[in-house]
Structures are given as C-alpha cells and as structure tokens.
Structure 1
Amino acid sequence: MEIRNLKNMTTDELLSVFNRAFSDYIVPFHLSLEQLELKIIADKIDMNLSVGTFESGKLVGFILNAEKKENGKHIAYNGGTGIIPEYRGQGLVRKMYDYIIPTLKEIKTDVLTLEVIEGNNSAIRAYENLGFKIVRKLLCFNGIINLEEKDINISIKEIENLQWEKLQSFWDIQPSWQSSIKVLENIRQSCTILGAYKDEQLKGYVIYNPAVKKVYQIAVDQYSRRQGIGTKLLSTIEKMNGGQAISVNNVDDTSENTSVFLHAAGLKNWVSQFEMKRDI
C-alpha cells in the first residue's frame, strides 16, 4: 500500500471510491459528479492537504481536508473520511493522519476538526484513539417549511454588502465549518442572502443556497425575537423554492430556541452529529 496526497486525483476518479465508501454508511448516500464537485468547492477541500491510500495504484481510502484561519487559529477540517469495505479494520485512518499531520504542522495548523454521526460508535472510538474529543452536539433538520406567516411591519430584501460584524451580533452560537464566515464567503455568489428590516434597520437575516436547498445561517436580533421575523424569513424561502424540502444542518443543540423554531416551522431533526476536535 502507498499513502500520498490527492493533488493529482481527479474528481471523476474520487467519485466512485467516495460512493463505495459511503454505500453502507450509518446514513448511506450517493453523490453525482456535480454534487461531489459542489461539496469540494463548498467545503473548501484542498487536494494538496487531502490524503489517500492506494493499493496497486488504485484509491481505496481517503481523508478530504480543508483549512482556514479564523479568530487567530489555523484550523484543518476533515470534510470526509472514507474506506471501501474490504480495506477496513487495517488502521488506515490512523496511517493517513500520521502521513498528513506533518504537512499540516508545516503550515502552522493549530486544530483539527471533524463531524461524526451520533451512533457511529466505531468511528467515534477511532477518532478518540487519535486524540479527538467531542466538543458539542449538532442537530440536522430537513423537511418542507410549514408556517403561518404573521402580518408584521417587516420588509424582506436582499443583502448585497455583508457586514459580518453586524450579523455576528445576532448570534447565540458559533456556526460549524460549513456555515462559517470563511466558507460562506467562498460560495456567497451561489447564495441568496435576505435581510428583515424594520424602519430600515436590519433585524434578522437568512443565508440560503437554492442549488442545494440548504439554509446555512438564520438569526434574529435578540431584542426583536418572537415577533415573527424568523417566520417571515423562512416563509420567503418557502415561496422562493416552490414549497420544496430544505435542510438546516449542524445547529448547536445548546440553542434550544433555534431547535424549537425549526420544529415549529415543520422541519424534523432527522440526524445528529458530534463535532470533534484535537490540537496538534
């Protein structure tokens, strides 16, 4: 076996191995080429920092890594680990991390982070054995928005210039990797960003990607909550997408107000994940 980075790997070559690796996953899924390309772009996957295991020149396992610098920390994110079934149980995840960590140290990485589905106990134990620790639980919602919109004096219009300092003042929790500022800036042209205004003052906002029907962020000013603003924002999304199902992923479970609101909006917490981290 040979372990090396994936800088020369095409998305076409990766696709079949990716789908084989996740075909019997705890939540099985299958991506098209376009969906995998979108994931690589959206998650900021860097093939120079990603690593694969090869048998006779053929890829049999991989770790897809991304990196960013935020709040003074250099963070590397595992956007997907996959081993095809016949090569599991050989410690390949540890071997691939042993290979790539020196490279991550060279670029001054401080923290490794990843998400693992609750109930995937073998993966959780494997990551704990590598030094990762669970830092929080993240809830994933999906479904068709079903809200009774209130008649309130709020106007909804697109936000062209993102003032992140202002938007962050609405937050109760820190977003996970896929909904973080650095990642969203990378795909902002693919997103619809709506603001809720009262007397020309921004009171709430939502960031939505119509291509994948995903809400990345929704937040309301803490002094303007329970007034129908969040309902107005989600109702606008529902009208835009013609009543199709949407997803809202990785909601910190400590944000009880958000969970209650999403349940009331008709969405279901269909799966949960643990965010895990380790210092290097």
Structure 2
Amino acid sequence: MITYKPLSELPLKEVSELWNKAFEGYIVNASMSLDRFIARTVSEGLSLEHSFACYVEGEQAGIVMEGFREFSGKKIAWNGGTAVVPAFRGKRIGSAMMAKNQEINEGLSVEYAYLEAISTNESAIRLYETMNYELMDRLVLLSNEQKLEMTDWSAHSFAVKKGLAIEAGSLSFYNPGEVWQAQLPSLKDGESVVVYDGQVAVGYGLFRRSFDSFGKLTGITLIRCEVAPNRKDKEDIMKATLCEIWQPTLSCKRNAHNIRASNNLLIELLKQLDFNVYMEQVLMVQQLDK
C-alpha cells in the first residue's frame, strides 16, 4: 500500500535524510547537508506543506518537492526534486508520486507545472512524458577556468550600470521566463548589469559572485543575458553585457547555468570564450488548465 505524508509534518532532519537516501546513486551528486537542504528550500521557495514523502507499507520510498509562484495572475509550480529510494526503483513508485503531485497542483489551481531533468536520464523523461509533460527547450551548463580574452568586446559605446538582480524586473522587456532558478525570487543574492543606448535600456544580464572567507572572488555564475526585442545590434549588446559580468582581468572560475539552448547567440558567444558544456537538461512543462 502506498501512502503519502506532507514534509511539513516531518522533522527537517528526517526530510533531509530522505532526500539524500532517495537520490543515492543519481546521475549527479544531489546529496546535501541539513543546513544546505534548509537553505535551498528557502531560497527556491519550496513548499514543505505541499511537498511530500512517499511510503510503501510504512517504509520510506520516495520524495517530491514542489514550489509555487504567481506571474501575471497565473499560478505556476516547479518540481524541485523527485526521487525514489533505490530499493523501490523499477516498481512504478515514480509514476504514483507524479500522479499525487499532479493532484496537489490541480487542487491549488496551478496552470503550468515546470521541471528539469538531466538529458541522459531517459527513464525519468519517459515518466514525465506519460504525465503529459512536454519538452519546451534544452538547458545547458557551461564552465571556463581559463583567462578570458575580451579586449575587443570592451570597445563599445554603451553605458553600463550595475545593481541588484531585482532591479532588472523593472525593465520594460523583462520576462520572468520558465526557468525557475533564473527568476528573480531565486536570485535574492544576485546582481545585474543593465546596458543602455543613450537613456534607453537595451539589454541586461543576471549573475552571482562567490567569495572565500577572506573576501577573495572565487567564482562568477551567469544566470541570464537578454536583449530588448527588435535590436539589430544584439551581438554587440550581449558582448558589452558579458564583458562587464565576466570581469576578464580577474582570475576566478566562471560558469553559465541553465542557459536555454534556443538562445543560440549567447551560447555561440560563450563558446567563443572557450566555455565548455558540462551538462545538459531538458525543460518540460505540463499544462493543467486545458
């Protein structure tokens, strides 16, 4: 018999341990400490009340974590992690959990449910397809630890303003998009670069910086790089944005996370800088208001 219990009814330590247990042997290492688990739950806006643990005959069998946001009057959901404990894999527990997840979303009047899956995780992708999730795009993760040569990119006539990530939300062409972790609520510690042509904002980038305990810069992670519609100088705007974000004279690791594969120009520019793809995910959506 399969039963479910909201994670809000369990001790956080038990929830964290179940997460690590369910993701054991996963394609990438998804395990995390209790402190990191709590921090991620908060930063990604995951709902313990509407996420759940799955039990088979009273034994822990899996976990589903879900977050909810509202944009333009539409309620959206994001699957922040679904996994089955190794002993119960291959027994259709994942299907049962996704059906329960859909039931919860429908009860909360969710219109669109999003998730990502590693592109090589074919069994998970097939499961989501049976639940009427459709492929929207592919997301690539890239990295570079080499010195960047961007001298030509810095020779531009645009004005550039740095600020907090949240400030980009006021731009007329800002769109939250479908990538949950690239949305402003997930970027409370994020920064922004806005590029201006005269007084008009024409592009922006969102990014994070990381530092060691002594305040030394250790990494820069690009989250988004967007250009206002109908600009014929899109490449120049992106180059100006990236040059300001990457700070090429500094030595640190640089990453680009969950960049949509359909953003061909951005990916091409990153590859020109010798960024290499180290992971690819699929972005999927389930429409619940049909």
CA–CA distance in 2 between the matches of 1:235 and 1:44? Answer: 31
SS at match of 1:27: coil
Task: Give the aligned partner of residue 173 of structure 2.
Answer: 168
Any idea what the Cα deviations from partners look like across 1:25-59, whole Å, max 9, x if unmatched?
22334333343333223322111111111368664
CA distance in structure 2 between the partners assigned to 1:106 and 1:39 by the alignment: 25
Normalising by structure 2, we get a TM-score of 0.80
Which segment drifts farther, 106-115 or 53-62? 53-62
Match for 2:265: what amino acid?
N
User: Taking structure 1 as the reference length, what is the TM-score of the superposition?
Assistant: 0.83
Aligned to 2:13: 12
Confirm whether residue 216 of structure 1 aligns to residue 223 of structure 2: yes
Residues 208-241 of structure 1 deviation map (CA, whole Å, 9 limit, x = unaligned): 12248432211234343333x4334333333399
CA contact (8 A) 2:193 2:245 kept: no
Q: Matched residues, percent identical?
A: 19
1:66 to 1:205, Cα distance in 2 relative to 1, 3 A: same
Question: 2:66 corresponds to which residue?
Answer: 65
Which residue number corresponds to residue 101 of structure 1?
102
Alpha carbons of structure 1 residues 21 and 41: separation in structure 2 relative to 1, 3 Å: same
Give how far 1:66 is off: 0.8
**Partners of 2:56 and 2:6 in 1: CA distance:** 14
- Residue identity matched to 1:168: F
Q: Quote the residue 2:272 is aligned against.
A: 264
1:177 corresponds to which residue? 180
**SS at 2:27's partner residue?**
coil
- Secondary structure of the 2:48 match is coil
Determine the structure 2 residue equivalent to 1:28.
29
**How far has the Cα of 1:71 moved from its partner?**
3.9
Deviations 1:64-110 (A, max 9, x none): 10112224432221111112211212222222233343332222112
Spell out the pairing of 1:95-134 with structure 2 (5 A cutoff): 95-134=96-135
Mark the CA change 1:190 to 1:13 in structure 2 (over 3 Å): closer, same or farther.
Answer: same
Cα distance change on mapping 1:105 and 1:29 into 2, 3 Å: closer
Structure 2: which 5+ runs fail to align? 211-218
Stretch of structure 1 that moved more, 248-257 or 44-53 = 248-257
- Work out whether residues 68 and 74 of structure 1, in 8 Å CA contact, stay in contact via their aligned partners in 2: yes
Q: Which amino acid aligns with 2:225?
A: I
1:14/1:175 CA distance change after superposition, 3 Å: same
Task: Kindly provide the CA deviation profile for residues 11-37 of structure 1, in whole angstroms up to 9, marking residues without a partner as x.
Answer: 433333323333422233433334333
> 2:216 maps to which residue?
none
Q: Which residue of 2 aligns with 1:148?
A: 150
Distance in 2 between residues matched to 1:203 and 1:236, nearest whole Å: 15
Shift of 1:277: 2.1
Q: For residues 213 and 262 of structure 1, what CA distance do their matches in structure 2 show?
A: 14
Paired AA for residue 156 in structure 2 = I
Structure with the bigger percentage of strand: 2
Q: Is the 8 A contact 1:147 1:231 kept in 2?
A: no
CA contact (8 A) 2:235 2:265 kept: no
Aligned residue pairs, count: 273
Alignment-mate amino acid for residue 234 of structure 2: R
- Cα root mean square deviation, aligned: 3.0
Counterpart-to-counterpart distance in 2, 1:46 and 1:31: 18
Partner of 2:190: 191
